Structure 1
Amino acid sequence: MIKDTQDENADENYVGPEFKPNLLSPQDLKPIAAAARPKPWLFYIIAILLLAFIVNYSVKFYTLIKWSRGQTNVDPVTLKPRKTGLFETIRNFFDSTPDMTGGTERINILLLGIGGPGHDGAYLSDTNIILSVKPAEKKAALISIPRDLTVKMDGYGYRKINEANAYGEIKQTGAGGEYARQIFEQTFGMTIPYYARVDFQAFVDLVDAVGGVDVNVPRAFTDYSYPGPNYSYQTISFADGWQHLDGARALVYARSRHGSNGEGSDFARARRQQTAISALKEKFLSAGTLLNPVRLQKIIDSLTTHISTNLSFAQIKYLADLSKEIGDDSVKTLVLDDSPGGFLGTTISEEGAFLLVPRTGNFTAINSAIWNVFESTSTARLASETRAASAAAKPLFLMVKVEIQNGTWRAGYAAKIKQELADKGYNISGIGNSVKRPVATSTIYILNKKADKKTISDLANTMNLPVTVILPEWLAYSYDDPATSASEAGAKYRADTDILIVLGEQ
């Protein structure tokens, strides 16, 4: 094990092959109760006292009170909010130049994207980005953290980092963002005082409120497995070039995980999310938005309902003003991935879940890269360079032979999946029907334990399926179904198959 010489608690972050994660199931989470509305008398008293000064900001002031009561200051142990007094609320409203650096040269904010109530895995964070800003130098960086990264959570053992928000909600309703902030801060050895958690509807509302966003799609792609209503799937496509996207379309662009043409991984999605956020920022700060009271009203309404943050109104205003001075050429992007030169490696838990872990066994190299993201020697790229690299990338997994078996009664199902995976560069050696049908759950079986780990991890990411090396009884050579007259004994898959995908009903 490599010792972390920069962090006295390096051993606590060690995630070598010995850990045995027990992953949290989405259905175990309790729903978040609606945030308590501020007491009307408080709002009216403040409005009367400050009417002459805030007549044009009454709606914003209502939102300020809602945010500042119970979210700005949080007890680090219980995660319960500390109460904010009336005069502190007034002071925060008028404090136009808050000190957000805490004596350092950087402002770090954790940005979380969740599905929200009504979505599968409602409180697991699909988007995890650390926004780091250097106010004095007018620079910013977006650091994307993959949701499958395994980290240590006090009291819960080793878990996927996207579960931090969910565990916070279990610990204290409404405290998911604060607990996630603490976990990210501990994991990456840096101060992250602020967080903002946005659900899908907030993203849609904000994009629609600014009249849509313009995004340059670097390469065309199709996703045949995009989540649809009632746990169904739908096909979505994007052409290359500039696209004007409304809220719903922008969400699809940012969420798609199974796209063709190199867009079928969490890492490709992370880059698209960074692009969408940059486009939204440009539109939000335009005069057409800031000087349009109707648009501002829609934005405030969505912020009140669908966004949780510990940022005060004055801090948000300060960041908005600061972002006007930061051009695209001053924004760097860093995506942690498991590419050949990446910081992460892959492993599979005992439950068959795909996991990402630091390639070196601890977070020393990762934390150094994040801390030095603004340096000229950093591996981070400018946003424009990231888009160009993403457009040029093309995955090739020709050395690993993948066999697909249809475990359902849906005709042509295996052929459909074969085409999707072939478009992504996978070597599909054969398709057919499984001996047992119907099979309840789709699964990826590793037949050759020496198969390329990168291919396995990409395939698991692309299909979002469990991976295991343990074969069910009906895939054994000797298996013969006693309920049938024909003999099924014999090989259940091709002899040269490295990875077997059995498609089930789910």
Structure 2
Amino acid sequence: MVPHAINFMSEVEEPSNHPPRDFEPNELAKEGKGRRKKALFLLLAIFLLAGSMWWYNSLTVTTDTIRAGVTLEPKKPKSLLKKISYIAFGNSETGNSNLAGAKTDRINILLLGMGGPGHDGPFLTDTIMIASIKPSTKQVALISIPRDLGVDIPGYGYQKINHVNAYGELKKPNWGAAAATELISQTFNIDIPYYIRLDFKAFAEIINELDGVTVTVDRSFTDPMFPAPYDEYQTVSFTAGEQTMDGQTALTFARSRHGNNNEGSDFARARRQQKILLALKQKLSDIGTYLNPLRANNIMNSLESHLTTNMEFDELVSLAKTGQTLDTGRIISLVLDSNPDGFLKSTFTSSGAYILYPKTDNFNAINDSIKLIFNGDPNKAIALTNASAENPFFNADIKNKEKNPVETFAPKTVEPILEIQNGTWNAGLAARVRRRLEFRSIAITTVNNTQEKPISQSKIYVLQKNTPSTILDILVDELKISTTQNIPSTIHPSTSTDILIMLGDDFID
């Protein structure tokens, strides 16, 4: 049972410099097959990429170079002859059974994508995905985990799951992926022996080396709020249909968060990320990729600089061979989301941070769905229940709103007047948020700065009881800020304001 009083940390782009007291990847560096089956991964397409490109490198570089990027304690390297035999003939004695999980017919790999150096929050994972392979039927499943999912991080309390990699890096450089894998394994009650972590620069470079990837865009959309240099925004658009994307275009397609036409959620983005990974896997299946030494060398150089994995050479080769036999025409996809028929619900921590949490207040239904993902519809395991008082994310404001829902008030005959106040030193923040909301058809009447700065916590203050709930729903969905009808005496809205959007230091632009 979760304690009633939880000390939530403030939502930050970078974690605290104070190391956790008890957050330690347990014995992940043990040799042999006895090492703990816990770890972190990155982008799915890389499972084939990593194995295939190690083929080229094994013939041209030293053993030490081959082991570059492996964060766990290395095993004794194979001889060059042994490596070549693995590549040409496989392991005649074990087939793919040298992969952890092959004997139980379930190979799990954690895939992680992060911004890397030069990006805001460089070690916050933007992509979290479990790739699960069933060798006997040649099936593969992709399970996308939203970065806003709330989990209990030892030593830090309840936080968004995308922080785990960053906290692991604070504990020990290059151990973020191992720490994330262990926590995700425990949370979802699944053995994950392998991980691959890649940053965005390598993702774009590899796709460029492959002359782009072919992707079918399901529906046209425009995102006017895609990040641009110097804390600005740029407008990006995609047209429905099949198209070839270069590295930067594919990265933009995979990362866009504020598109219209039902493409403005993290869950829509997760589905687009799966599309890019499968397109990359298809391109890597082309034998021409491996017959171009310059291309292979360039990809290897990018991987050595930007990829972290705990897989051994023979495991990478086996995974590459297994990957080429998979039936990728029938990928099983599970995206954990907060749709009406989804597993999750949107809520806020006691500190006001937006977070996702299971509708059943535990992970049992999700874990059953992951366990049985090859047995039918993975979404059938869900059983929705009312939120319980033990849910640490279910704060008093939300409980009160459910007892006295906004929907019970009579609708106004005129549109409410909305005001945005910037309570930070981030110049232009209110104007940028105004543009975001106007793209969602929300008109903002006034944009101001607060009289005092900084304001620590963001909030949506509802000053009129008959404010339409549909507008509040859009504001919460877009800004990830909780609502309240209690306005402090230190906050001063304009006289005619019906809804005041306060942007504090915790607001993620």
Relative to the length of structure 1, the TM-score reads 0.73
Alpha-carbon separation, structure 1, partners of 2:289 and 2:417:
52
Unaligned runs of 5+ in 2: 18-53, 381-405
Give deviations 1:119-150, integer Å, cap 9, x for gaps.
10100101000000011110000000001111
Q: List aligned pairs for 1:473-492, cutoff 5 A.
A: 473=489, 475-476=491-492, 491-492=495-496
Matched residue type, 2:462 = L
Q: Does 1:421 align with 2:440?
A: yes
Structure 1 position 313, deviation (Å) = 2.6
Answer whether contact 1:338 1:454 (CA < 8 A) is retained. Answer: no
Matched residue type, 1:256 = S
Alpha-carbon separation, structure 1, partners of 2:176 and 2:100:
23
* 1:431 corresponds to: 445
Alpha-carbon separation, structure 2, partners of 1:249 and 1:258:
16
Say if 1:22 and 1:458 are closer, same or farther in 2 by CA, change over 3 A. farther
Alpha-carbon separation, structure 2, partners of 1:143 and 1:452:
36
- Which residue of 478, 497, 505 corresponds with 1:462? 478
* 2:128 corresponds to: 128
Q: Does 1:82 align with 2:73?
A: yes
Q: List aligned pairs for 1:66-465, cutoff 5 A.
A: 66=65, 68=67, 71=70, 81-87=72-78, 94-95=85-86, 96=90, 97-99=95-97, 100-102=99-101, 103-379=103-379, 404-407=418-421, 416-422=435-441, 428=442, 431-434=445-448, 436=450, 443-447=458-462, 459-460=475-476, 462-463=478-479
Alpha-carbon separation, structure 2, partners of 1:142 and 1:501:
38
Answer whether contact 1:404 1:418 (CA < 8 A) is retained. Answer: no
Of structures 1 and 2, the one with the larger relative CO (CA 8 A, separation 6+) is: 2
Alpha-carbon separation, structure 2, partners of 1:194 and 1:402:
52
Matched residue type, 1:421 = R
SS for the counterpart of 2:379 is: coil
- Which residue of 9, 23, 36 corresponds with 1:22? 9
Matched residue type, 1:71 = V
Answer whether contact 1:339 1:454 (CA < 8 A) is retained. Answer: no
Matched residue type, 1:287 = I
Alpha-carbon separation, structure 1, partners of 2:79 and 2:69:
12
* 2:384 corresponds to: none
SS for the counterpart of 2:105 is: coil
Alpha-carbon separation, structure 2, partners of 1:202 and 1:402:
47
Alpha-carbon separation, structure 2, partners of 1:101 and 1:453:
50
Alpha-carbon separation, structure 1, partners of 2:133 and 2:491:
54
Alpha-carbon separation, structure 2, partners of 1:60 and 1:473:
71
Q: Size of the alignment, in residue pairs?
A: 422
Matched residue type, 2:278 = S
Say if 1:56 and 1:299 are closer, same or farther in 2 by CA, change over 3 A. closer
Structure 1 position 221, deviation (Å) = 1.1
Structure 1 position 21, deviation (Å) = 2.5
Say if 1:192 and 1:58 are closer, same or farther in 2 by CA, change over 3 A. closer
SS for the counterpart of 2:378 is: coil
Alpha-carbon separation, structure 1, partners of 2:6 and 2:83:
45
Structure 1 position 206, deviation (Å) = 1.2
Relative to the length of structure 2, the TM-score reads 0.73
Structure 1 position 450, deviation (Å) = 11
Moved more, 322-331 or 413-422: 413-422
Alpha-carbon separation, structure 2, partners of 1:453 and 1:341:
21
Unaligned runs of 5+ in 1: 1-10, 31-54, 73-80, 381-397, 423-427, 478-487
SS for the counterpart of 2:271 is: helix
Give deviations 1:381-419, integer Å, cap 9, x for gaps.
xxxxxxxxxxxxxxxxx9798754244797986763343
Matched residue type, 2:446 = G
SS for the counterpart of 2:440 is: helix
Matched residue type, 1:22 = M
Stretches of 4+ aligned residues off by more than 6 angstroms: 398-402, 408-415, 437-442, 448-458, 503-506
